[in-house]
Structure formats: structure tokens, C-alpha cells
Structure 1
């Protein structure tokens, strides 16, 4: 009798697993639904990472409980942006340079996409929507007007590319610049933890300087060079996509140059203080 009940339970579990797999493949990962399920998934992942950061940070940083409420909120917010940056920059590097999704072999690269690339963009849209909501809710504690402009441009450009399938190669090229975000957040974490004069803070500043120079200054020059070489394909895009290819990278490049000046100024200040103490 017990064996029969056990077999029935196993069969029921397998049946549920099969149904769940069908639901996942036929709906959640079906091409027409990917943009929507991935955006929702991105928002839910942001919420999950934020909640987990509130608990796990207490294990490795004892001073976390003594932080102000807005500092704890920013801590969680930066944990989310770090996780997103690692995910999307990794996906962007893979899709642009390692995969054959955007190869020149057959047809214009400006109209090429895949289920994986669309899914990755959807996760990114979910992140930018969540982060924009947090910034607006706590304005200006989590970021000023420049952050709102940056995120609005990102949401519009990434969402359009995700939904239309146009210009995904250039969207991912721009998203490679997110690779510098973990260093930006680490700078804030170390400062908040009172480690501004540590070697780790200095090392992080040096890595951020060179990373920013490569990923947020030189990369944008490469993007426009790539657009120039493929202009005959770019001009086949619809007007709005064509407009985004030129305007969004330019606007982001201007902001990146402004922030790069601040990074350089901050690095010089740290080096000067360390020379005084030595």
C-alpha cells in the first residue's frame, strides 16, 4: 500500500514538472512573450536582490545596522545595480564579440536579434525601471537629475531595441560600459564603511579610472566608428531607431566625460592625501 502511494506521488510530481516545463517553454520563453516576461522577471529579481542584501550585509559588515535608513536603502540599491552590471556587461561582451548573433555574414546586423539577446535586454529594462522608480521615490537622495536623464534614455533605447529588434548590436555595445558600475559602487561601499584611506579604496579608484577610460570613453568612439562602417545598414532602420543610434550614445558620452572629470579629480585628491600621510 505504501509503495503504491509512493509511486502515485512520484507520478503526480512528474506530471506537474512536465506541465511546468510546457508552461515555461510555450509561454514564458516563447518569442512573443519574452519581452514581457523578462521585464517582469527583471523587476522581481531587483526586489529579491534588494531584500537579500538587507539580510546578508549584516553577516559581513557589522556597521550596517548603524547606518541611516537612506544609507541602507542606497546600499541595497547599489547591490542591485552591481548584480545587473555583472549580468548585462557579461551578456553584452558575449553577444557582441563571441557569439554569431550579430555577424555580417547574412543580412544587415541592425536587424539581427535572438531570443537570448531579447531576454537579456528585457532583464535590463526591468532593472532600469526599478532603479528609476527608487531614484524618483527617494529623490534626490539616490541620485540627481543626471541619473534620471541617464535612466530615461536607457529605458527608451533598450526597450525600443528589445521590442522592435532593431539596433540590438549597438544597444549591447553601449551596455558593455556597465562593466565599470561595480567599481563605482565599491567606491561608495568603502567610503560608507569608513575605508576611504585604505589601499583597497585607492586600488579601486585606479581600476575605475582606467576602466572608465576604456569602457565609457574609448568604447563610444569605437561605437561611432562601427556605425560609420555600417552606415548603409543603419540608414535602413526606422527613423526612431536611427535617431536613437546617434543621439543616445552621444548624450551618454557627454555625461561620461563629465563624470570622468570627477573621477580624475577624486583620484588626484586621494593620491595627494596619501603622499601627505606617507
Structure 2
């Protein structure tokens, strides 16, 4: 009996902690969805007041315009959060904390991942509801495997370092969206469109090509830790990032061809 009370108390504490984590995750996911709805509505309101081209768009174009508003907001939010956790927080620094890098997690990281799940759920729902207006099969595939990887990381508490590295690639999204905004509002021949194309090319090269190369090199050098991830998470690390990497390279090829075409037209106008 003397040992049963402390053991029972330990189980009770574990249950409370687990319940707290589930509540935090659920609240974060809901917050992400609500964030998308608020930014969607604000984008429409502000655009109608400040951008004349918005009022000339049809309903589907206005819907996509607003959708890209919360897509941009999430991209900025998660990129800044990833930079903070990966670079400044010391959370994944071997010289600051003990234990395996692959097992490190925190309430902050879990909240951010939960918000991202909410974003991907909201965006995927809109993509499927309006399919294929907001994107084709490749967007559905991208969102599904991204959500799957994030859910595994946040529920297991493992591999979050690599998840935030992948989420950092969202830093290119504002350039992609600005390109669409300029094209839709009839400013495809403007200098801003050309400058944004160059920024998109450079940003994609850094965040979705070079960063992924660093990702794979880092994973190779820390493979002794990667092997300790639970089986489904381990095989996901070996398959999902390469799949995303291939998609990034295909899109990079399209971006490069588009930039060459834009620069050629700009030279002819001069």
C-alpha cells in the first residue's frame, strides 16, 4: 500500500499532462482555423477599400485573392516562428540543452505546429471545395503530406527540428502570392512584377533548394538520432521530405523559366 499511492499519483499526473497537451493542440488547431477566417475577411474588406482592381474581379477571383491573404499571413507567421526556434531560442542547440535533438519539444513549438495544422486544414478545405480553382492535385498532395508530418511531430514530440526546417520554406509564399496579385490586377508589365520575380527566384533557391540540401546533410550527420524516432515517424522522415524536395525542384524549374521569360520581355520594352 505504501508504494501504490505514489504510483497512482504518478499515473494521475501523467493523465493530467496528457489531457493538457491534447487541449493545447486542439485549441491551437482551432486558433489556426479562426485566424484564417479573420484574415480572409479582413483581406476582402481592406482590398475593397484600398485596391480598385479588387472590385473589378469576379467572385472566384475575389475568393482566391482573400485566400492568398491568409496564406501570406500564415507564411510570415510560421517563417518568423521557425527562425526564432531554430536560430535564437537555443531549443535545438546541442550546447544549450541536454538530451537528443530529435526529442526536443516545447509548449511554444507545439502551439505553432497546431496553428499550422489549422491553416492547412482551412486551406485544404477551400482547395477541395472550389477544386481546381485554388490549385490542382499537387496542392492537395502537398497539404496532405505536410499535415501528416506535422501531426506526427506534434503528437510524438519527435522530429520537430526537421519539421520547422521544412516550414521555413513557407517564406517563399508571400512572393508567390504577390506575383498572382500583380498578374491579376493587370501589373504584369510593371517593374515591381519583375523585381518580385527575381526575389521569388532567389528566395526559392535559398529556402526550398539549398535549405533542403542542408536538411538532408544534417539528417545524414545525425542519423544515429534519426534512427531512434518511432517507426512511422522514421519512415516518414525518409520519404516525405524527399517528395517535397522533388516538388520544390519542379516548381523551381517553372519559376526559372518564368523569370527568364519576364526578363526577356522587360529587355524588349527597353
Check whether TM > 0.5. Answer: yes
Name the stretch that deviates more: 245-254 or 182-191.
Answer: 245-254
Shift of 1:277: 1.2
- For 1:81 and 1:30, locate their aligned partners in 2 and report how far apart those are by CA, in whole Å: 29
For residue 98 of structure 1, report the CA deviation from its aligned partner.
Answer: 1.1
For 2:49, the equivalent position in structure 1 comes to 59
The residue number in structure 2 matching 1:79 is 69
> Partner residue of 2:112?
120
Using the alignment, how far apart are the partners of 2:173 and 2:69 within structure 1?
10
Once the two structures are superposed, residues 86-109 of structure 1 have per-residue CA deviations (whole angstroms, 9 ceiling, x without a partner) of: 000110111011112122241111
Residue 31 of structure 1 deviates from its aligned partner by 3.6
Q: State the Cα deviation string for residues 182-201 of structure 1 (Å, max 9, x = none).
A: 00000000001100010100
| Alignment equivalent of 1:133, drawn from 125, 131, 140 | 125
Q: What's the offset of the Cα at 1:30?
A: 4.6
Runs (4+) of structure 1 moved beyond 6 Å? none
- Within a 5 Å distance, the mapping from 1:45-56 to structure 2 comes to 45-56=35-46
Gapped regions of structure 1 (runs ≥ 5): 1-25
Query: 1:111 aligns to what?
Result: 103
Number of the residue aligned with 2:217: 225
How many residues are aligned here? 252
The equivalent residue for 2:246 is: 254
Distance 1:32 1:157 in 2: 17
Distance in 2, matches of 1:79 and 1:247, equals 31
Once the two structures are overlaid, the 10-residue window that deviates more, 198-207 or 93-102, is: 93-102
Alpha-carbon distance in structure 2 between the residues aligned to 1:243 and 1:91: 26
- For residues 29-63 of structure 1, give each alpha carbon's deviation from its aligned partner in whole angstroms, at most 9, with x where no partner exists: 95442111000110011011111111110122112
Match of 1:270 in 2: 262
**Matches of 2:261 and 2:149, distance apart in 1:** 36
Match of 1:182 in 2: 174
For residues 67-116 of structure 1, the C-alpha deviation after alignment (integer angstroms, 9 at most, x for no partner) is: 01110010011001100000001101110111121222411111110000
Matched, 1:165 2:141: no
Deviations 1:182-224 (A, max 9, x none): 0000000000110001010000000000110010001001011
Could you tell me how far apart the structure 2 residues matched to 1:38 and 1:132 are?
17
Listed one character per residue, the Cα deviations across residues 139-180 of structure 1 (whole Å, up to 9, x for unaligned) are 001000100000001110111111111100000000010000
* 1:146 is the counterpart of 2:129: no
Aligned residue among 29, 38, 47 for 1:39: 29
- Partner secondary structure for residue 158 of structure 2: coil
The TM-score, its normalising length taken from structure 1, stands at 0.88
CA distance in 1, matches of 2:256, 2:22: 45
Write the distance in 2 (CA, Å) between the matches of 1:123 and 1:187.
Answer: 25
**What is the match of residue 7 of structure 1?**
none
